[in-house]
Copies of this chain bind each other. A is one copy, B any other.
Amino acid sequence: MPTYQAPVDEVTFILNDVLRIERFNNLPGFAEATPDVVEAILVEAGKFCTEVLAPLNRTGDEEGCTRHEDGRVTTPKGFREAYRQMVDGGWLGLAAPAEFGGQGLPGTLTVAVNEFLASANLAFSMYPGLVQGAVAALLAHGSDAAKKVYLPKLISGVWAGTMNLTEPHCGTDLGLLRTKAMPQPDGSYKITGTKIFISGGEQDLTENIIHLVLARIEGAPAGTKGISLFIVPKILPNADGSLGARNGVSCGSLEHKMGIKASATCVMNYDNATGFLIGEANRGLQAMFVMMNEARLAVGVQGLALSEVAYQNAVTYAKERRQGRALSGAKEPNQPADPIIVHPDVRRMLMTIKAFNEAARALALWTALKGDIAWRSPDEKERQAADDHMGLLTPVVKGVLTDIGFANTVMAQQVFGGHGYIAESGMEQFVRDARIPMIYEGANGIQALDLVGRKLPKDGGRALQTFFAEVQGFINEHKADEAMKPYVGPLNTALSHLQQATMWFMQNALAKPDHAGAGANDYMHLFGLVALGYMWCCIVKAAREKLKAGANGATERMNGKLVTARFFMERMLPETATHLARIQAGADSMMALGAEGF
């Protein structure tokens, strides 16, 4: 039976020592988030995850969700009670505005807590995750009246939310969508169509579900420019907020999936359902894009979350399981065999995951912090710079953290040998669950294309230049320091690979866009390695400062950061050279075959 302990110390180290969030006390909500408050919240969240959510993870996977003949959906045993506890704990409204019942704390804190929830129980965490998405959409685009009706109910957790984009024939290419919205005399719309892959489309956790639905108003232009966003409540609220009539929306079936089996993935049928336009007509995709950075960051964090929980369980197993002897001679000669953590290849796997997790967490929190600045800073220039950063880094966080996060669950499973293939160990569930973040919220190929095709050239490459300048600035500042050389030296090489790759695109992809498409995945991963390498350099700097200052009982942990950073620089960062070589190979051999040649 797998277990989970929230890495609270890791998060507070990143927030306080690496990102030094006390610098942002001028932002709304940040002054309240003192180190003590933050730690108390994280500890409490961790406790809830360890004690309530983690024990429901395997049972939820085994039982799955059930759709009844009348369209009702039942979540696995224990989910209702856990959801109630989460709602009662106020976890849904941590960063939501106080005027709608939230606590107004930094969104960065929500991202940290979301990692814990997803580690403990990814399938469960999707229900509150979608509520956060609906809240963000309403905050950004809802009318005052809509905000007043929906936000308090969503933030308090009494109602839940969903996102309805995909249809059977269109996922990535939303321009093809067919769900129709017929305008009604009272200003509302009648929505008709079928949506698929709707997480939490139906469930038994909340008394109402607020569906956000993309549809095409009758007569709207074809393609992406004719898509609007609608609120479609499962039960229509009366003017006083009480529940009124059942709306024409229902769950037609549940999907049988590889993983996240406790998350109800619904086919949703809209049959003349009453919907309310949110934002401008025909601007629904733009409205979705506003939320997309946050949603994609959240999905990236899911990749990290599964990597973390799989790592923790692999470490426990590697310390307990005894097979063979250390190559350097028996470590515990009185025992029949050494624990397998003595074997270099087991350490290779554990160190690889560890060196990813710690930097990936820093990267996610850094990006989340930029999100807070982009929304909350009073300084327009600061907001813009933060927004640039978020736009640029979001596809990297989503694509790289989910790709590597998945690979890490596979590696952690490998530590278990045959036992990892057995359901009882829980390791195979982590692998199955970790597979979906690579796909949903924009498959990772789309993230790569978003990065290369949209984010790089945006505003004349402003965001990218700023990122390069920051990383190069750090390198220049520390390159003369002998103690920093083993870290900034490799980072400098990796950064130059990224710059060469960027240059190659500039010189080749304008004339032949396929060159950009062919290199996009490698560019995203090259970018991710540079960003993670930069995080490691920042972590090393903070760890060394802490060590100099006495480290407060954390000497061993801080020394461990220096070792792990070395491992990252020596073993993981060198991949940038391969990515560069692939990018510079261009599209020719990739595109040469006719479809019949496959």
Binding site for B on A (CB under 8 A): 166, 169-173, 175-176, 196-197, 255-259, 315, 318-319, 322-324, 327-328, 336-337, 339, 341, 343-351, 354, 406, 410, 413-414, 417-418, 420-424, 428, 431-432, 435-436, 438-440, 443-445, 448-449, 512-514, 516-518, 520-521, 556-557, 560, 563-564, 566-567, 570-571, 574-575, 577-578, 581-582, 585, 587-593, 595-598
A-B contact pairs, 10 of them (CB 8 A): A315-B598, A318-B598, A341-B595, A341-B598, A347-B590, A349-B445, A418-B440, A421-B435, A428-B435, A570-B581
CA distance A597 to B350 in the complex (A): 11
CA distance A431 to B431 in the complex (A): 10
**Would you call A517 and B344 a contact (CB within 8 A)?**
yes
CA distance A570 to B584 in the complex (A): 9
Listed residue (A322, A514, A567, A590) with the most chain B CB atoms within 10 angstroms of its CB: A590
Contacts of A435 on B, CB cut-off 8 Å? 410, 413, 421, 428, 431
Known: A258-B428, A348-B521, A563-B597. 13 other contacts (CB 8 A): A169-B322, A327-B514, A341-B595, A343-B517, A344-B587, A345-B445, A347-B590, A351-B593, A414-B443, A421-B435, A556-B597, A563-B593, A574-B581
Closest to A344 in B: B517
Give the dominant DSSP class at A's interface. Answer: helix
**Would you call B445 and A171 a contact (CB within 8 A)?**
no
CA distance A445 to B343 in the complex (A): 10
CA distance A438 to B319 in the complex (A): 22
Contacts of A257 on B, CB cut-off 8 Å? 421-423, 428
**Would you call B323 and A417 a contact (CB within 8 A)?**
no
**Would you call A324 and B173 a contact (CB within 8 A)?**
yes
Q: How many copies does the complex hold?
A: 2
Closest to A513 in B: B327
Contacts of A351 on B, CB cut-off 8 Å? 589-590, 593
**Would you call B521 and A172 a contact (CB within 8 A)?**
no
**Would you call A350 and B598 a contact (CB within 8 A)?**
yes
Contacts of A258 on B, CB cut-off 8 Å? 421-423, 428, 431-432
Contacts of A197 on B, CB cut-off 8 Å? 418
Contacts of A422 on B, CB cut-off 8 Å? 255-258
**Which of B323, B414, B448 is in CB contact (< 8 Å) with A345?**
B448
Within the complex, the shortest CB–CB distance from A226 to chain B, in Å, comes to 14
Closest to A331 in B: B595
Closest to A509 in B: B327
Closest to A588 in B: B566
Contacts of A436 on B, CB cut-off 8 Å? 421
With known contacts A418-B197, A422-B255, A323–B578 Cβ distance under 8 A: no
Closest to A557 in B: B597
Contacts of A428 on B, CB cut-off 8 Å? 257-258, 432, 435
Contacts of A560 on B, CB cut-off 8 Å? 593, 597
**Which of B323, B348, B443 is in CB contact (< 8 Å) with A173?**
B323
